[in-house]
A and B are shown apart, each in its own frame.
Chain A
Amino acid sequence: MRKPIDRRPARRHLLPLTLAAAVMVMGTTTGFAANNAYCDWEMKNHSIDEPLCGLKGNAENGRKLAIARKKGNCLACHAMPIPEHDFHGTIAPPLNGVGARLKEGELRARLVDIKQLNPMSLMPSFYKHPDKLHRVAKKFQGKTVLTAQEIEDIVAYLKTLTD
């Protein structure tokens, strides 16, 4: 009978391996990565008055997110004052003037979870808690559609649409 081969890692590898394992365990058990922790929100009278995670939005970035197909993709359904792109969707109300029509908290509420206002809506709930979704593809599990910062950026952009 042959002597069994010792497959244990060499002593010098033990410390880096243990550290790597610890980081991996921490990463998976916290659920959300440190910079994307889910912030709770409260909706009252169809408005979420507090900015998500206390963040400040950047309107210029919000406009880019509204156009980007893998982010807000707002043009898929809403006509918007974004003339450099053709073919805006017709499913949803146009957003020209929405910043004058709705208050900041009301805009935020619609982005976070439109179904609280309109249960029949086709619009994604961009910041609904991922545990409340059904049959999500593996690579999108555990994540909101947009991060809290992205929501705030789009809110800031929508506030500028005042005509």
Chain B
Amino acid sequence: MIRQILVSIGVLMVFTGQSLSEPKSGYDFLKAETKEMQDDDFLNPGIQAVDEGRELFNKPGANGKSCASCHGEDGAKLDPKRIAMYPVFDKTLGKAVTLQQRIHMESEGKLGNKPMKYDGKDALKLEVFVRHLARGETVNVQTDGDMAPVIAKGKKIYETRAGQLDMSCAGCHVYYPGQKIRANVLSQGQGNGFPNYRLKNGKINGIHSRFNGCYKQFRAAKKKPGNDDYVALEAYVMSRGNGLKIETPAVRF
């Protein structure tokens, strides 16, 4: 009787909610050759974006100041642990902010630059450069306090079916990591490698654009990168990977 109860509790613990017993990076689902490509900075096609991002970071903006003016040459004064906490709750703005949103706000507000396109080439180069400073740092997104409602909103979007094909993020990434759709292995859909370099499209991809890519595949309407729903979704996706290491720029298929 006691054994049956203990087994039932064990089974319930495995299947309850969306909690991952062990978050695994997309790296763990790669073929050996792709892992090698990511691990070697001379082979990783995403490293070019780090260099280009560094140039943008040090370059003077419209009012003569550069990111480096306050944050140090090559971002020396930026705190990798803080970078690893994004998206964070900004008390002044009263809402959650993604790392790329922060970059846009600083570029326009502090440097007087014209707005960049969210997930556009320059914005991504800067985000890759900044996140790369935190490479190897542990993802640590806040999920309680002010962030609790944001995470809850993101979790709801993650679990909601959409599109003509009626699928959800959770459908693939919670229940079927390791299984294959045709020849493609499904991962847990973690965010620790973003912005990443995808072999499939030969370029750097931001996480909001990736959300659109997935939604397109199940014939759902896309949303403009930078919108509030995707900020909440990014917060939730990043928080699922709390404990993983930042790998930006990751190499993925």
Task: Report which A residues bind B (CB closer than 8 A).
Answer: 75-77, 86-91, 115, 120, 122, 124-125, 128, 130, 133-138, 140, 143, 145
Contacts and interface: CB of A to CB of B under 8 A. Distances in A.
A90 B180 contact: yes
Contact of A124 (B166, B221, B222): B166
Contact of A75 (B162, B163, B182, B215): B182
Interface in B42-57: none
A64 B167 CA distance: 24
A138 B119 CA distance: 23
Contact of A136 (B171, B175, B183, B220): B220
Interface of B: 160-167, 171-172, 175-176, 179-183, 186, 215-216, 218-222
B179 A90 contact: yes
24 contacts: A77-B181, A87-B182, A88-B182, A89-B180, A90-B180, A122-B167, A122-B175, A124-B165, A124-B167, A125-B166, A128-B166, A130-B164, A133-B164, A134-B160, A134-B166, A135-B162, A135-B163, A136-B163, A136-B219, A136-B221, A137-B163, A137-B215, A137-B221, A145-B164
Contacts of B172: 122
Chain B interface main SS type: loop
A137 B167 contact: no
Given A89-B182, A133-B163, A135-B162, 4 more contacts: A136-B220, A137-B220, A137-B222, A140-B219
Chain A interface main SS type: loop
Nearest to B222: A137
A115 B164 CA distance: 14
Contacts of B179: 89-91
Contacts of B222: 137
Contact of A122 (B163, B176, B221): B176
Contacts of B215: 135, 137
A20 B55 CA distance: 58
Nearest to B164: A140
